[in-house]
Amino acid sequence: MDDARMVLETQQDHVSIVISAITAVETVSMTYGEAYHCQNLKRGPSASENVVLLSVLTACRYRGAVDAGKEIFDSMVAEYHVELGPEHYGCVIGMLGRAGRLEEAEELMLQMASGPSISALQSLLGACQIHGNTSIAERVANTLTKTEPA
C-alpha cells in the first residue's frame, strides 16, 4: 500500500481511478483510517468521487465507525459537492441501523430526495427486527408495501 500511495501522490493523470482502486481495496482489507487517508488525497472533483466516498462509507459501515461515517456523509455535499444518491443513503442507513440508531436512520431515510429506496427500507426493516423496534418496523413495512405492492 505504501508503493500505491507513492504512485498516487506523484501522478497527476488518472488520480481518481487510482484513488478509487486503492480505497476499494482498503475497504475490504485495511482499516477505516487508511481508507479515510486515501479519501483525503483526492484532488478536485471527478466522476469517480461517488465511488471513492461510497467506498469510505462502506468501510465505516463494516468497521463500526458510525460517527466518522456520518460525519463524512454530512460533509459530502458541503465540502465535496457530491450529489447524494440512494446508494449513499442506503449505506448510511444500514450503518445506523446496525448500530441500533434506528430513529436517526428513519429520519435520514425520509430525507431522501427521490423518496425511500427499496434497499434503504429493507435495510431499516432488518435492523428493526434485530433490535426489536416494532413501531419503526410497522412504519417501514407500511411504506415498503405502498412502494412495492404484492
Decide if 74 is inside a domain: no
Assess whether 89 and 43 both reside in one domain: no
- Contact criterion met (CB below 8 Å) for 36 and 67: no
Assess whether 24 and 52 both reside in one domain: yes
Q: What rounded mean pLDDT belongs to the chain?
A: 79
Assess whether 88 and 150 both reside in one domain: yes
Specify the higher pLDDT residue, 38 or 102. Answer: 102
In whole angstroms, how far apart are CA 92 and each of 9, 84, 102? 29, 11, 11
- Neighbouring CB atoms inside 10 A of 17's CB total 14
Decide if 77 is inside a domain: no
When divided into structural domains, the chain yields a total of 2
The confidence score (pLDDT) of residue 17 equals 55
What's the pTM value of the predicted model, to 2 decimals?
Answer: 0.73
pLDDT band at 45 (very low <50, low <70, confident <90, very high): very low
User: Quick one: average pLDDT of 23-38?
Assistant: 53
Domain that holds residue 59: 1-69
pLDDT digits (tens, 9 = 90+) for 56-82: 888 888 888 899 999 989 988 788 778
Taking each helix axis from N to C terminus, what angle separates 66-80 and 32-41, rounded to the nearest 10 degrees? 10
Assess whether 59 and 88 both reside in one domain: no
Assess whether 61 and 89 both reside in one domain: no
Is residue 32 over pLDDT 90?
no
Is residue 108 over pLDDT 60?
yes
Decide if 55 is inside a domain: yes
The confidence score (pLDDT) of residue 134 equals 96
3 state DSSP class of 35: helix
How far is Cα 14 from Cα 136, in angstroms, rounded to an integer?
Answer: 44
Is residue 88 over pLDDT 70?
yes
pLDDT band at 146 (very low <50, low <70, confident <90, very high): confident
Assess whether 44 and 103 both reside in one domain: no
Assess whether 6 and 59 both reside in one domain: yes
Decide if 141 is inside a domain: yes
Assess whether 2 and 55 both reside in one domain: yes
